[in-house]
Amino acid sequence: MIKAVRGTRDLLPPETALWNFVETQAREVFRAYNFQEIRTPIFEATELFARGVGEETDIVSKEMYTFRTGDDPRWVLATKWLVTRPKYKKIEQLRRPGFGQVFAGLREDDVWEIVIVEIGAGGPKLAALKKMQAERQSLASAAGERPSRYVLVVPSSEAQRVSGLINQDGIEVQGLEMPEGYDPPESLTLRPENTAGVVRAYIEHKLWDRGLNKLYYIGPQFRRERPQKGRYRQFYQIGAEVIGPSSSGSEHPIRDAELLEMLDTLLRRLGIADFTLYINSVGDAQDRAAYNDALRKALQPVVGQMCADCQRRAVTNPLRVFDCKVPEDQPVIATLPVISSYLGEASREHFQNVQALLKEAGVAFEVNPRLVRGLDYYTRTAFEFTHGALGAQNAILGGGRYDGLAELLGSPQPAPGIGFAIGEDRLVMALQARASEATAGLDVYVAPVGEGMNRKALRLAGDLRREGLTVELGDRSFRLKKMFEAATKAGAKYILIVGENEIKADSFSLKNLATGEQVSVPRAELAQRIREQHSR
């Protein structure tokens, strides 16, 4: 039997009713704060997350689902072929329709350096070409005294442009006629988070020109991490972003406070009262540079006692040490300096203003000086909501400010931003007590009894559904006892008998399946009677 892939699962009724309840409440709250929905693709260019989230984060370095597409995966960025006589067969591996034109004049005693450059939507990457030029001298030395040719293979349509970019003696640009309908290879990644995609869409569609700077999303994300309670490899997030040019005030502390006040409102509307909001400031780029230097120095004498990941992080990105979940490392982490000691005046003032605004709004919070969040794009305000019902991994949602991310992803103008993501899987876990409230259930089971009653029952069921009731329709070919069993199994509150006598009297037997009480109700009063009984 084929089962769901590890780290994924099917969401089934009646649990899906609770999911719909959560999403409906979120949409209503977002509407009240003037957020509008955005739906971005489920996969994006890998480069978006490498640049936006950070190459040294666990997400990018370990957890992303990345795959390549295209007609010929051998057209890979800066793939190099140093071909000598013993390796002549490597050229044979490239002999596909069209490739023969490139190698027509090859002699077995030649040494060729053949660089095949990835052909993406924008053609060969200039950075790759510059890197190739820088390496040329060392590669030429490797060829020794033997004759050599240095060939850059590109599609014919790109040959002239690339020749202009190279503009260097000793490098031959050879065009290759690509087959019609050629699909260039790309590196794509299933989105591990959605902020980078929303910012990309904001830039691509110039949303600032349309006044769209408050956006929300609901949908699946993907990370290849160890499945555990409330954490899956396909998981769901509800998130929102405030992005905009400085003229929109998106960098002002009031946006931080408004977003946090909105989340406080949403959680209370969902019936989650025993949550804690933790906030901190991670400063700006200059603050973090000073803090990273201090962390490196503090880690040097103790990092050998820590896990392999922390030893790597201590060199590449010390701030990520705080992402460590290894219990044995926590005493060491507790001794490290905190970022609040390294905040500049502007960051310190911003954080103080956020706290003052939250107090004015009546939003309770605690300052956690070790809260840094797990993504590289965060600046200044970082926050997290936790809930005790979830155990050790108790975070329901988190987020923060990310001034500078839009520019990093190519925005022509500064677009400060702040946002959050709710782990919907874990939020639903915290709401299990409200499952019965969220699940409306089946109001009435309509049971046709006797010849010709199916049509009458179908019409009556339609009338009740138009009144807003949830109705299941039986089949007159089943005995009444079997329909009672089906109604009970389906969780119906009532069963409505439709027979010849009921049709003639235009009054129907309505039985409460919980109490056993049965009454005769005129057709015109059926919907109202069911609603009244349901509200008691």
Give yes or no for a cis peptide into 14 (omega within 30° of 0): yes
Last residue of a domain, one of 392, 410, 433: 433
Across 10-36, average pLDDT: 91
Q: Are 420 and 350 contained in the same domain?
A: yes
Residues 427 and 489 in one domain: no
- Domain assignment present for residue 129? The answer is yes
Tell whether 252 and 354 lie within a shared domain. yes
| φ, ψ of residue 518 in degrees (nearest 5) | -130, 130
For residue 47, pLDDT beyond 80? yes
Q: Which residues pair with 508 in a beta bridge?
A: 521
For 70, left (φ over 0), alpha (ψ -120 to 50), or beta? left
3-state helix, strand, coil in the chain (%, to 5): 45, 25, 35
Please check whether residues 512 and 417 belong to one and the same domain: no
Give the 3-state secondary structure of 476-496: CCCCHHHHHHHHHHCCEEEEE
Residue 75 · residue 186 · CB < 8 Å: no
What is the average per-residue pLDDT within 386-392?
Answer: 63
Q: What is the pLDDT of residues 143-172, one digit of tens each?
A: 443 434 556 666 676 677 667 766 555 566
What is the pLDDT averaged over residues 310-326?
81
Residue 119 reports pLDDT greater than 60:
no
Percent of the chain with pLDDT over 70: 74
What would you report as the CA-atom Rg of the chain, rounded to the nearest whole angstrom?
Answer: 32
pLDDT at 419: 94
Do both 349 and 214 map to the same domain?
A: yes
Is residue 35 domain-resident? yes
Does 33 share its domain with 56? Answer: yes
Q: Note the pLDDT tens digit of each residue in 260-274.
A: 999 999 999 888 878
pLDDT at residue 124 is higher than 50: no
* Same domain (yes/no): 506, 421: no
Q: Is the residue at 135 inside a domain? A: yes
The pLDDT value recorded for residue 437 is: 56
Average predicted confidence (pLDDT) for the chain: 78
**Phi and psi dihedrals of 179, rounded to 5?**
-65, 155
Element (H, E) at 426: helix 424-430
Distance CA 91, CA 99 (A): 9
pLDDT higher than 50, residue 116: no
- pLDDT per residue as tens digits for the range 414-473: 899 999 999 899 888 888 755 655 566 788 899 898 878 888 889 888 888 888 888 888
Distance CA 497, CA 483 (A): 10
Identify the residue with better confidence: 303 or 249. 303
| Same domain? 459 vs 476 | yes
End residue of a domain, out of 433, 459, 481: 433
Which whole number is the average pLDDT over 241-263? 86
Percentage with pLDDT > 90 across the chain: 25
Same domain, 90 and 122: yes
**Residues 272, 215 share a domain:** yes
Q: What is the mean pLDDT of residues 383-389?
A: 82
Look at residue 459 and tell me if it is in a domain.
yes
pLDDT greater at residue 136 or residue 226: 226
Asked whether residue 386 falls in the same domain as residue 369, the answer is: yes
pLDDT, mean of residues 479-507: 87
pTM: 0.72
CATH of the domain at 507: 3.40.50.800
Taking the C-alpha atoms of residue 522 and residue 5, their distance in angstroms, rounded to an integer, is 52
Q: Is residue 229 part of a domain?
A: yes
Give per-residue pLDDT as tens, 335-364: 888 888 889 899 999 999 999 999 999 999
Q: Are residues 280 and 369 in the same domain?
A: yes
pLDDT digits (tens, 9 = 90+) for 286-316: 888 888 888 888 888 888 888 888 888 888 7
> CA–CA separation, 368 vs 96, rounded Å?
60
- Tell me what pLDDT residue 31 has: 93
Mark which of 176, 199, 227 sits at the end of a domain.
176
Indicate the DSSP class of residue 261: H
Residue 21 in contact with residue 11, Cβ under 8 Å? no
Range 171-209 burial, b when 16+ CB lie within 10 A, else e: bebbbbebeeeeebbbbbbbbbbbbbbbbbbbbeeebbe
- Check residue 199 and report its DSSP letter: H
- For residues 431 and 57, the model is more confident at 431
Coil/strand/helix, residue 504: helix
For residue 521, what are the CA distances in angstroms to 111, 493, 494?
95, 16, 13
Q: What is the pLDDT averaged over residues 520-531? A: 87
Per-residue pLDDT for 186 more than 70?
yes
What domain count does the chain have?
3
List the domain range (segments joined by +) for residue 106. Answer: 79-176
- Residue 157: phi and psi, rounded to 5, are -65, -20
Give the sheet arrangement for strand 186-190, strand by strand: 43-45, 186-190, 66-69
- Do the domain assignments include residue 218? yes
Closest CA to 38 of 230, 182, 194, 156: 194
Residues 63 and 232: their CA atoms lie apart, in Å, by 12
Q: What is the mean pLDDT of residues 236-252?
A: 85
**Residue 327 is assigned to a structural domain of this protein:** no
d(CA 244, CA 212): 8
- Of 19-33, 66-80, 144-158, the one with minimum mean pLDDT is 66-80
Gap between the Cα atoms of 213 and 36, Å rounded: 9
d(Cα 372, Cα 384) in Å, to the nearest integer? Answer: 10
pLDDT of residue 155: 65
Query: What was the pLDDT predicted at 165?
Result: 61
- Tokens coding 22: 């959560």
Is 321 a domain residue? no
Q: Please say if the pLDDT value at position 125 is more than 70.
A: no
486 or 69, greater pLDDT: 486
Assign residue 357 the CATH number of its domain. 3.30.930.10
Helix (H, G, I), strand (E, B) or coil at 6: coil
Q: What is the pLDDT of residue 99?
A: 42
d(CA 326, CA 305): 12
| Angle at alpha carbon of residue 25, lines to 20 and 31, rounded to 5° | 125
